[in-house]
Structures are given as C-alpha cells and as structure tokens.
Chains A and B, each alone.
Chain A
Amino acid sequence: QTVTVEMLDHLEHLALVDFRDSEGVERLQKAIQFADQLHEVNTDGVEPMDSVLEDRCLYLREDDVTEGNCMKELLKNAREKVEEYFVAPPGNIPLPKLEERDTFLQGF
C-alpha cells in the first residue's frame, strides 16, 4: 500500500524535515516495505525490550548540586540571543497548510 499525500504532509509537520523530492518519498516507501518483514516473526507472549540493562536498578544519584552556573558557555553557541534569553521567532503560528507551502509534496 502506498503512502498518501496527507500522510506525507503529516510526517513533514511532525518531523519538521522535508521529503525534498520523489527519492525521499521512495525512501520512505522502501523503509516501510522493509520493516514489514518484522511481521513474519512470531512474538506471541514476548515482552518488548526497552533496555538490555532491564535486570538492573537504574542509578539514582544524591540530590546534590554538583555543577551548573554555566550560562555564558551555554549561550555562546546560540546565534540569536538577548541577555540570558535564546531568541525565537514568534510562536503559535502553525506551519502553512500543504496548499500554501512551498513543498515538493504540492505537485504530488
């Protein structure tokens, strides 16, 4: 089953990366086809494995402040900043809909 334009658009929204061209779309199709092989395996009664260290207790350290106060270092790598703030363009503006976006998917 091929992936619909709506699905591709949805994925571009979620991932905030673009398919760019038909090769990109093809890549996804192939990836899904490939992954479908998993369904050949019988996993009845098998628990999903999150971590190979599942039999161990996760380390919890003492609630002591051991480091921090490195605002200057952290801000160094940001391109846009004002005082101690990272500056972002206005939020709460959704990505334009498919019809209004400049995306490869338009002509799809």
Chain B
Amino acid sequence: AAVKGALRFQVSAALKEGRVSPTELCQRCLSLIKSTKFLNAYITVVEEIALKQAEESEKRYRRGMPLGALDGIPIAVKDNFNTAGIETTCASNMLKGYISPYNATVVQKLLDQGAVLLGKTNLDEFAMGSGSTDGVFGPVRNPWSYSRQYKEKSVKKSHSEDEESNWVITGGSSGGSAAAVSSFTCFAALGSDTGGSTRNPAAHCGVVGLKPTYGLISRHGLIPLVNSMDVPGILTRCVDDAAVMLGSLAGHDPKDSTTIQDNFKPFELPSLTDVSKLSIGIPKEYHAPGLSSEILALWSKAADLFKNAGAKVIEVSLPHTRYSIVCYHVLCTAEVASNMARFDGLEYGHRSDMNKSTESMYAATRREGFNDVVRGRILSGNYFLLKQNYENYFVKAQKVRRLIADDFVKVFRSGVDILLTPTTLSDAVPYTEFIKEDNRTRSTQDDILTQAANMAGLPAINVPTALSERGLPLGLQFIGRAFQEKQLLTVAKWFEKQVKFPMIQLEEVKRHNCGVFQHQKSASFS
C-alpha cells in the first residue's frame, strides 16, 4: 500500500514528533565526533555551518514544513566531493587549502532536502587505495577496533599499549565515511566507488554500502578518478536508509552528461515475505584465492538461507572475473593519468615556488603535491597510453572490459535476478599488518570481489552479515541488474532482516546515549 510521504529515516519520525530537535541531534553528533577523534574519520568538521543548518531545519519543523525525508538529518561527505565554501582536499597536499567554489550535485541535493552537513571525511589520497591509510591526514581507524566485541576476542596481553597497536583498518577508500556512519557520528554518508571503495569499507565497518548503477547518480562535483567507472556511494546503517538516500540523489543531471535521462521514481522498499520467485546466482569464480574460510562458510550459509526460504539458488559462472583486476589496473591508471593532468598549480591547489618555466613549475608542483601512489598510477597510465602501447594495453583492456560486462549480461539473461558474493576476502586486518604490503598489491588483493561490478556498471550493495571470530564485521555482497536498485535493495533488506547483524558496542556511543539512540535494536535507527 502506498503510504503518503513515508520515505524517511526512522529518526525522521522522532524529529517530526518533536521527540528530538534537529539542533539536539546535530549537537550530539558533533560531540560524538569530538570524543571519537582518535578514529581520524573526519578531515574537516564544519561545526558552525552544521548548527546553523540544524537551526534552519528546526524552524521548518516548528512550522510543520520539513523539506523532506532528510530534513535535519546529520550527514557526512567524503572529501573528494566539492562543497561550496568548505575545504576539499582529497586527502592530498595538492588540494590542501582548496576551497570549493561550488557544491557537487549530490551535495546540493542533500542540502536542498535540509540535510545537515557535519563535515568531510577522510580517505586514501585521491581515492586511490583500499585501506584509507594513504592520505596526508593519516589513516582512519575502524571503530570496531574499540568495540567490546573486538576487545573481548583479542588475546589480552599486558597493557593498553596493545590497544594502540592492535587497531584495524576501515578498508577504503571511503573509510572515513564508513567509520563515521559506523560510530554513529552521522546518519548517512557519501562515499565514492570505483573499484569497491564504498562496499569494501562498508564490509569492514559493519554498515550498508551501496554502489548504484553507473549513470544513475550525478558525478558532477565528484573529483574524478576513473570517469567511466566512478559513482557516488551511499553508506548507512540499514538498507531502508540507503533507499531514502538513493531517492534523494538519483536522477538525471544536466551538468553530468553521463547520467541517464530516464525518469527516476524514488521508492519505498516492500517488506518481502516470499522469496520463492527469486533466482539467486552464486558465481563460482568469487571463491577467490585467499578467501577466508570464515567468509566462505558465511557465504554458504547465506545461500542456504535463501534456499530454505524457497528461492532458487544456482551456481553460475563469470569466467572473466579473474581478469577484472588487471583490466582495472590498466584502465584506471590510464584515466588517472588523464584526470590528474589538471593539477598544475595554476588555477587551484598547491603551487610550487619554482618559477623558471611553466613546465618546471608544473613538474615541481606535482612532485610536491602528489604522494607515491598517485604518482605511480600517473606514470603507469602514461606508459599504457604511449602510442606504441595504446593498442596492446589500453584498447586491449577495453576489449577485456566488454568480456567482463558480457559475462554479467549472459548470467542475468539466463534468469538469475541477483548475484550473491562475498564483499571482502577476510575481516579487517590490523593496520600494522596492512602496511606491510604496498598500496597496489593491497588494492589488487582487496578489490577482487568488488571491481567487476564497476567494470560492468552494475549496482551492488554490501550488507553486514555477522561477526568474525575476532569480533569484527563480515559483509556479503549482492549485485543486481542495471538500474534495478529497487529489486536489489528489496532483496538486501530481506536478507538484513534475516541475519540481524549486531549493533556495535562502543563506550563513546554509550556515553552519548539519549532517548533517540537508546532503543536501537538493529544497526539502524528503529
């Protein structure tokens, strides 16, 4: 049954009924951000702006005229989205001090709905990485490192110093956004997803991470990494919230010609009770080398869950899966080489003092501004784009891309509705272990389960499923047909309901408890 204006975060009900005010909500979040500063999830916190927005929202609620589902909801935005009047750094020296002159379309849409922007979240420099460890502001810490669940499972050595060295990564590159949502400092956050950058940290931080279909949400104002694969990502604590966010963000944008022109209708997710008409595909190639036995077992359990509920669960094959990382490696570095060319110090961003010539100024600016990872990708990309290499590498990768995309087309055409796969190879690793391998090696390993969806432009979502033996979140991924987010999210919501993922038990959150947070049974807000 259609419910009037029912699309809302559960907290919206509390706001509407006056049980909590937007300013209270905002203040609590700001306060929690301060006490969870050690997570390093935020690069910039815009306290004054946020409180002002919250005040405006409060006035609207008092008049009984909220702007929409997101009015008064505190949100955070990854620091590679332009936000007018607010510094946007991409966690790079190249953009330190850069104050965006405009809002990214997705940011504007959220603000137009009355959302309260708390700040910009930390990431890997220019979104290159799978750990949120390679930005100039330092690594992001996974809130679960400080959870009772994790602490209980870690072998107690001698003293608190171990807590310092034991902390685990958030995954990346949208780690700051994932940590922010996971630690309750905001109700939803924007990330970006090019190879898994929203889903990977979502899995490690125990939150919902949605990668929409390429072309559904505007990229205008999202500082690009790979134009043909980038999408804005949505991070929330439950699937329903993700649907609300999607409803506010999706749709054609004249400022982004890669957004489709089809009319997008925001939808409310039905509470599925009968899954017997569903066909779930299990791609065998996603049983990738290095997949932990825990996750394998969880994946199997999930498949059984669907089977026992009456759905058709079949094994399928996406034969070119193992080439998606190599393919991505070439296409990504090539597009990066092109996209990073705009950073020359002239119009914005860092500028070197070197003044001898334009070229030497550009070169010096770029030496000073970019970290190893970024420079490495630019150089590799330029190599693959050389005239003598263009056909053999770039065009070859484009051909392989088609094969990867076609694999999905064939499977969906054969009657499969949704694919069920793991999101990551294991639970989050300790930072000290993660940095033993370099960025490219890590990305290669970590993106393997998420990358192909970007290659094919398909929607995919991470749903937190269970805790690992170490007390850390494990997530599973659903991949859907292009532009069929409603079906994807409906199935994800059903699954979420079945698994009842536990709420993180964080000391800091407990201390900031108020009526509004207190009655949370699920990870969401109900």
Contacts and interface: CB of A to CB of B under 8 A. Distances in A.
Interface of A: 3, 7, 11-12, 14-20, 23-24, 27-28, 30-32, 34-35, 37-41, 43, 46-53, 56, 58-61, 70, 73-74, 76-80, 86, 88-91, 93-96
Among all A-B residue pairs, the 9 with the closest Cβ atoms: A52-B457, A48-B398, A93-B357, A77-B348, A43-B399, A49-B402, A73-B101, A31-B380, A91-B358
A22 B323 CA distance: 28
B331 to A, nearest CB: 10
Given A17-B370, A32-B383, A90 B400 contact: no
B375 interface: yes
Contacts of A39: 392, 396
Counting contact residues on chain B (CB < 8 A from A), the size range is: 35 or more
B219 interface: no
A86 B401 CA distance: 40
A34 B355 CA distance: 38
Nearest to A53: B215
A80 B351 contact: yes
Nearest to A60: B257
Interface string B358-383: 11111100110010100110111111
Contacts of B405: 49, 52
A47 B360 CA distance: 40
B415 interface: no
A51 B258 contact: yes
Contacts of B375: 15, 17-20, 24
B101 A76 contact: yes
Contacts of A31: 329, 333, 376, 380, 383, 440
B260 A41 contact: no
A43 B228 CA distance: 20
A46 B300 CA distance: 35
B393 A17 contact: no
Given A15-B378, A41-B400, 12 more contacts: A27-B438, A34-B326, A34-B329, A35-B326, A35-B330, A48-B395, A56-B261, A59-B261, A77-B99, A80-B351, A88-B361, A93-B359
B228 A51 contact: yes
B226 to A, nearest CB: 12
B326 A38 contact: yes
B12 interface: no
Contacts of A28: 376, 379-380, 383
A45 to B, nearest CB: 9
A42 B337 CA distance: 27
Interface in B373-418: 375-376, 378-384, 386, 392-393, 395-403, 405
B307 interface: no
Interface string B163-197: 00000000000000000000000000000000000
B182 to A, nearest CB: 30
Contact of A50 (B357, B362, B398): B398
Interface string B327-362: 101100100010000001111110100111111111
B270 interface: no
Nearest to B98: A77
A94 to B, nearest CB: 7
Contacts of A78: 346-348
A74 B379 contact: no
Nearest to B102: A73
B362 A16 contact: yes
Contact of A95 (B261, B351, B359, B400): B359
B60 interface: no
B366 A46 contact: no
B376 A43 contact: no
B252 interface: yes
Interface in B435-488: 438, 440, 444, 456-457, 482
Interface string B219-257: 000000000100000000000000000000000101001
Contacts of A12: 363, 379
Contacts of A43: 396, 399-400, 403
B379 A79 contact: no
Given A27-B376, A59-B261, A35 B384 contact: yes
Contacts of B363: 12, 16-18, 95
A47 B438 CA distance: 34
A11 B379 contact: yes
Given A31-B440, A35-B330, A86 B347 contact: yes
Nearest to A32: B383
B105 interface: no
